Amino acid sequence: MKRLSGACAFIEALRCEGVKHVFGFPGGAVLDIFDAIMDAPDIEFILTRHEQGAVHAADGYARSSGKVGVCLVTSGPGATNTVTGIATAYMDSIPVVIFTGQVPTHLIGNDAFQEADIVGITRPCTKHNYLVKDIADLARVIKEAFYIARTGRSGPVLVDLPKDIMKDTIAFKYPDKVELDSYCPTYKGHLGQIKRIVDLILKSNKPVIYAGGGVIHSNASEELVNFARTMQVPVTTTLMGLGAFPSGDPLSLGMLGMHGTYAANMAVTDTDCLIAIGARFDDRVTGKIDEFAPKAKIIHIDIDPTSISKNVKVDLPVVGDCKMVLQGMLSQIREQKDEIRELHDHIRPWLECIDKWKKDQPLKYSQGSAIKPQYVIEMIDKLAPDDTIISTEVGQNQMWTAQFYKFQEPRLFLTSGGLGTMGYGFPAAIGAQVAFPDRTVIDIAGDGSIQMNIQELATVVQYNLPVKVMILNNGYLGMVRQWQALFYKKRYSQTSLAVSPDYVKLAEAYGARGLRVENPGDVKDAIQQALAIKGPVFVDFVVEPEEDVYPMVPAGAPINNMLLV
């Protein structure tokens, strides 16, 4: 067998995993790998301008395509710069494999130049991580890393590669299968429990499905839609679940929680049967936990047993893959035509009640002389093609997008839900654009967040990635300002962005196009113009400075206690 260097074996392993794109940034400890990359034209390397951007890009690639995102950076600062990106992927269960360089094994622990104990640092924010100390382990570790990242509750896995291991040689053989005796996620749900779930739903009077990101990760959207429509059960989704159920469907309630719709929050408060699917009862969803779905029997379907009864006591849990459990539920109801008809009859008043909530308190905003950010998002939704991928930053821009952009399909919405990472959206859009070069990719940003990874403008220009960045420029860190306005007597401590760059000139300085819009009448034209431009564009929408996101549930309040417009 031909002997390969560690670096070449690494590239070979990526090939065996079918990796086509790697995001990253070079450095001293990974010189051998980058040298080997020059001889691997089948693997496209995307050089970001910051390692955080590389992980977010790999994350956006994974979220939009469903494949494992791959990232390669150097040791020390290169590795530590990935931590925010890794924590972001971990909180949202995104399959990413991060390869970090490390100083040679004999120097580990010596405070060597650009040394960081990245395995120690990332232990609490990775699904698993490895330090490869022997080249004989390299192929097995890479195989396991990809396997662990994409199976079960997916998540980021980090592999630390010391420089001497990359220089060493080995007769390369990629293992056929993974042997991990202590890791075997449960996919198939318990049949008895599935039957009990269906029975409970059939007997309920006011059922609601609460769907989360797990539905998207397990590609269970079709089954969810099928089940909800057959049973006529209304569906609310979390931020991470947006797109899992088409928001145009009459059964859709939109998002629930802190900035959820009135109908969703009222329905969850009043339901007698809450069916949580691939969701984890996050505090932004539940509000005051003791008063969350107080009248309901709670059903929880999740692949991760640690999610069950973590925050809310569950009456009927099923550990398993959302798709397989939903398939089980669908085959269970196939024989129950009469019971379903009965269910339809006795939940009619419930559906009417929900329709009334929707009509009484729809999402709304008032037009004014200044551009309203919600209007910009509605126009983007109207003008962009159906398969457009939308990413957001974090804050008001994110919540308005979640509310006003009507996601009809899964994997079209990329946002940092769990960690709430400002600066996520732009690099994530880069990852999505790399995965889908022919689709429209738009980052809906705020003027605060966009500056957190603005260096990636160079990346979009270099690779001619036609990402459109729509900046809702209100001159504030808007969401924090909103809290200060509501709960801190309008004392705007450090939330006014007194100095900001001229985004048009900035985009142009990098070689991208920039547009500025100041009048509501010009919004439509500007979006059309931006969408028509072949390359990357920044559009700076100067919007109403003190617009707030409503509805809003104050922190710690029950979710039916909403501040409305």
Partner 1 sequence: MRHVVSVLVDNQAGVLSRVIGLFSGRGFNIESLSVAPTLDPTKSKMVITTTGNEQVLEQIKKQLNKLINVVKVIDYVGKEYVEREMIMVKVKAKDETRAEVLRIADIFRAKVVDISSNSYTLALTGDKGKLEGFIEILHPIGILDFIRTGTIVIEREMHTRRKLSL
Active site residues: 51, 113-114, 163, 479
CA-CA distance, 396 to 449, in Å (whole number)? 10
- 3-class state of residue 441 by DSSP: strand
Q: Which is nearer to partner 1, 107 or 119 (CB)?
A: 119
Instruction: Pick from 16, 47, 108, 119 the residue near partner 1 by CB under 8 A.
Output: 119
Does 420 participate in binding partner 1 (rule CB under 8 A)? no
DSSP code, position 562: -
Phi, psi of 447 (to 5 degrees): -75, -15
CA-CA distance, 314 to 312, in Å (whole number)? 6
Q: Which is nearer to partner 1, 99 or 476 (CB)?
A: 99
Q: Which is nearer to partner 1, 281 or 404 (CB)?
A: 281
DSSP string for residues in 442-480 = EEEEETTGGGGGGGGHHHHHHTT---EEEEEE-SB-HHH
Does 177 participate in binding partner 1 (rule CB under 8 A)? no
Does 282 participate in binding partner 1 (rule CB under 8 A)? no
Q: Which is nearer to partner 1, 131 or 531 (CB)?
A: 131
To partner 1, the closest distance from the beta carbon of 126 in angstroms equals 10
Sheet with 157-162, side-by-side order of all strands? 44-47, 21-24, 69-73, 96-102, 157-162, 128-131
CA-CA distance, 277 to 214, in Å (whole number)? 7
To partner 1, the closest distance from the beta carbon of 394 in angstroms equals 23
To partner 1, the closest distance from the beta carbon of 105 in angstroms equals 12
Pair type for strands 157-162 and 128-131: parallel
> Which residues does 104 contact at the CB level (< 8 Å), separation at least 6?
112, 162, 163, 164
Neighbour tally for 463: CB within 10 Å:
18
To partner 1, the closest distance from the beta carbon of 293 in angstroms equals 18
Does 120 participate in binding partner 1 (rule CB under 8 A)? yes
Q: What angle do CA 135, 139, 144 make, to 5 degrees?
A: 125
The token pair at 495 is 């939330």
Q: Which is nearer to partner 1, 149 or 224 (CB)?
A: 149
Count of residues touching partner 1 (by CB under 8 A): 17
The token pair at 92 is 């949202």
Of the candidates 131, 102, 80, 98, the one whose C-alpha atom is nearest the C-alpha of residue 28 is 102
Specify the stretch interacting with partner 1 by CB under 8 A; choose among 176-184, 225-233, 428-436, 532-540.
176-184
User: Which 125-144 residues touch partner 1, going by CB under 8 A?
Assistant: 127-128, 131
Instruction: Pick from 42, 111, 181, 438 the residue near partner 1 by CB under 8 A.
Output: 181
DSSP code, position 553: P
Does 501 participate in binding partner 1 (rule CB under 8 A)? no
Does 110 participate in binding partner 1 (rule CB under 8 A)? no
- 3-class state of residue 533 by DSSP: coil
Cα 92 to Cα 243, 314, 320, 541, distances in angstroms: 15, 22, 18, 29
Does 105 participate in binding partner 1 (rule CB under 8 A)? no
Does 123 participate in binding partner 1 (rule CB under 8 A)? yes
DSSP string for residues in 356-411 = HHHHHS-------SSBPHHHHHHHHHHHS-TT-EEEE-SSHHHHHHHHHS---STT
To partner 1, the closest distance from the beta carbon of 25 in angstroms equals 26
Phi, psi of 292 (to 5 degrees): -85, 125
User: Which 285-304 residues touch partner 1, going by CB under 8 A?
Assistant: 304
CA-CA distance, 458 to 463, in Å (whole number)? 9
Cα 123 to Cα 104, 109, 158, 160, 211, distances in angstroms: 21, 17, 9, 12, 29
To partner 1, the closest distance from the beta carbon of 183 in angstroms equals 5
- Lay out the site mask for partner 1 across 301-340 (x = CB under 8 A, - = otherwise): ---xxx--xx------------------------------
Does 184 participate in binding partner 1 (rule CB under 8 A)? no
To partner 1, the closest distance from the beta carbon of 97 in angstroms equals 14
Does 109 participate in binding partner 1 (rule CB under 8 A)? no
Specify the stretch interacting with partner 1 by CB under 8 A; choose among 174-182, 477-485, 495-503, 535-543.
174-182
Q: Which is nearer to partner 1, 151 or 265 (CB)?
A: 151
Instruction: Pick from 136, 171, 180, 509 the residue near partner 1 by CB under 8 A.
Output: 180
Does 190 participate in binding partner 1 (rule CB under 8 A)? no
Q: Which is nearer to partner 1, 182 or 369 (CB)?
A: 182
Does 124 participate in binding partner 1 (rule CB under 8 A)? yes
Burial bucket for residue 70 (CB in 10 Å: 0-12, 13-18, 19+): buried
To partner 1, the closest distance from the beta carbon of 31 in angstroms equals 26
Q: Which is nearer to partner 1, 246 or 305 (CB)?
A: 305
To partner 1, the closest distance from the beta carbon of 313 in angstroms equals 9
Q: Which is nearer to partner 1, 174 or 183 (CB)?
A: 183
| Residues at the contact surface with partner 1, assessed by CB under 8 A | 119-120, 123-124, 127-128, 131, 148, 180-183, 304-306, 309-310
